[in-house]
Amino acid sequence: MHPIARRDLLAALLAAPLASFAQNTPPRLDRIVVAGWNKPITEVTPLLVDEDKGFYRAQGIALEYVPGAGSADAIRNILAGQADVAFSDPLTFFAALDKGEKLRAIYDIYPQNVFNVVSLKGSNITRPADLKGKKIGVYSLASGTRQGLQVLLHSAGLSESDVTVVVTGLLNFAPLMQGQVDATAATDTGLLIGRRRGLPEVNVIEVGQVLPMSSDLFVVREDVYQAKRAALQRFLRGYADAAAWMMAKPEEAAQLAVKRAIDGTDPALNLEIIKLRNASSVSALTRRNGLGALDVASLQAAADTYRRLGLVQKPLDVGKVVSQDLLPGRRGEPG
């Protein structure tokens, strides 16, 4: 064989395994870490099932979830560089901005307000003004339940000085049932679990009737928003696809929560929680513009209300700290 031909054959033989290896090597995934406000619970099933469903891997994202104990933990984790994205309520986001942090909201997870104040049927507490002089339970002094209570009191011209606030703990309706408080601030899922544990007929004052605003947002540091735009956009596509799947197949999601959520042992309860979260994930705006669409006017109204309550000190221009450009649009959202 001619030396040149022999050389070419040898090069081809050496290249063949390399080409085969390149074809079989999975594409590199971009790592995105989400800092949660809680442990991996049923409510956040869209963030827990990628091993089963592959919503994020399909977008080239390797997703990690870091648990926390409240939105303040989630924000602290992104500020410390321990995560890329925070799962945060709006007030915690506003409070960080108020302190000078450079943050941006990029997706509205739950455009519906999920907070409420619950009282026993015979209490005759049916409107915010009826709370005056009453003992009101909250999960903690740093929780969204307290924020919701403050909003309701403000709507009636009242403040916390007009009531007695009692810390009752998470999802704890026992003090209400035992008469230790006259009413308790909760969430929709908290009320659901309370009813399953024997809570009798109750009156419910919904905070959303007074302040229709988002309950939770995806928030990032400004420098992360600038440096990881493409990866963040693909993460949001994955999340929107996962949320749309949970809406289309809530029973499947409830079954997967048994395996993936730490509180998911009861598939029937999982399904009820998932249906509530599905309902809180959509609004008239998301039906027009797609899942995650941010209602800037509503968030501005919330920021202004929180300032009047003294929860933030500086005026905030929400339009400057909210971005819609990474949103996936109408990717599979039910009509």
Contact call for residues 134 and 125 (beta carbons, < 8 A): yes
Cα distance between residue 57 and residue 33, in whole Å = 13
User: Which of 185, 209, 233 lies at the terminal end of a domain, its last residue?
Assistant: 209
Indicate the pLDDT class of residue 20, thresholds 50, 70 and 90. very low
Considering only CA atoms, which of 87, 95, 2, 9 is closest in space to residue 48? 87
- Say if residue 223 is in the same domain as residue 310: yes
In the predicted structure, residue 331 carries a pLDDT above the cut 90: no
Q: Does residue 80 form part of some domain?
A: yes
Number of helical (H) and strand (E) elements in the chain, helices listed first: 13, 10
Indicate the pLDDT class of residue 142, thresholds 50, 70 and 90. confident
Indicate the pLDDT class of residue 22, thresholds 50, 70 and 90. very low
Instruction: Decide: residue 104, CB within 10 A, 0-12 exposed, 13-18 middle, 19+ buried.
Output: buried
Name the DSSP letter for residue 329.
-
Percentage of the chain beyond pLDDT 90 is 82
Buried b (16+ CB within 10 A) or exposed e, 313-328: eeebebeebbbbebbb
In the predicted structure, residue 2 carries a pLDDT above the cut 80: no
| 290-328 pLDDT, tens digit each | 999 999 999 999 999 999 999 999 999 999 999 999 999
Please report, as a single letter, which amino acid is at residue 178. Q
| 55-64 pLDDT, tens digit each | 999 999 999 9
- Say if residue 101 is in the same domain as residue 178: no
Cα distance between residue 95 and residue 103, in whole Å = 11
- Say if residue 53 is in the same domain as residue 194: no
Positive or negative CA dihedral for 126, 127, 133, 137? positive
* Helix-strand-coil split of the chain, %, nearest 5: 50, 15, 35
Indicate the pLDDT class of residue 153, thresholds 50, 70 and 90. very high
Indicate the pLDDT class of residue 149, thresholds 50, 70 and 90. very high
Cα distance between residue 207 and residue 201, in whole Å = 19
pLDDT at 57: 98
Q: Does residue 19 form part of some domain?
A: no
- Say if residue 180 is in the same domain as residue 226: no
Q: Does residue 304 form part of some domain?
A: yes
Indicate the pLDDT class of residue 285, thresholds 50, 70 and 90. very high
Q: Does residue 97 form part of some domain?
A: yes
- Say if residue 303 is in the same domain as residue 227: yes
Considering only CA atoms, which of 324, 319, 322 is closest in space to residue 292? 324
- Say if residue 162 is in the same domain as residue 219: no
Arithmetic mean of pLDDT, 115-143: 94
Q: Does residue 15 form part of some domain?
A: no
In the predicted structure, residue 139 carries a pLDDT above the cut 60: yes
Please state, rounded to an integer, the average pLDDT across all residues of the chain.
91
Cα distance between residue 268 and residue 235, in whole Å = 29
- Say if residue 106 is in the same domain as residue 235: yes
- Say if residue 168 is in the same domain as residue 245: no
Considering only CA atoms, which of 37, 185, 45, 212 is closest in space to residue 112? 212
Q: Does residue 2 form part of some domain?
A: no
Prediction pTM value: 0.86
- Say if residue 105 is in the same domain as residue 223: yes
- Say if residue 107 is in the same domain as residue 228: yes
Contact call for residues 105 and 217 (beta carbons, < 8 A): yes
Arithmetic mean of pLDDT, 195-215: 93
- Say if residue 35 is in the same domain as residue 108: yes
Cβ atoms within 10 Å, residue 140 = 14
Domain containing residue 276: 30-112+214-320
Indicate the pLDDT class of residue 11, thresholds 50, 70 and 90. low
In the predicted structure, residue 260 carries a pLDDT above the cut 80: yes
Q: In total, how many domains does the chain have?
A: 2
Q: Does residue 309 form part of some domain?
A: yes
In the predicted structure, residue 1 carries a pLDDT above the cut 60: no
| 215-258 pLDDT, tens digit each | 999 999 999 999 999 999 999 999 999 999 999 999 999 999 99
Cα distance between residue 244 and residue 281, in whole Å = 9
User: Which of 163, 178, 209 lies at the terminal end of a domain, its last residue?
Assistant: 209
User: Which of 209, 239, 257 lies at the terminal end of a domain, its last residue?
Assistant: 209
Contact call for residues 68 and 74 (beta carbons, < 8 A): yes
Q: Does residue 296 form part of some domain?
A: yes
CATH number for 183: 3.40.190.10
Arithmetic mean of pLDDT, 36-54: 96
* Distance (Å) of CA 312 to CA 88, 186, 248, 305, 306: 16, 22, 39, 9, 6
Indicate the pLDDT class of residue 27, thresholds 50, 70 and 90. confident
- Say if residue 198 is in the same domain as residue 125: yes
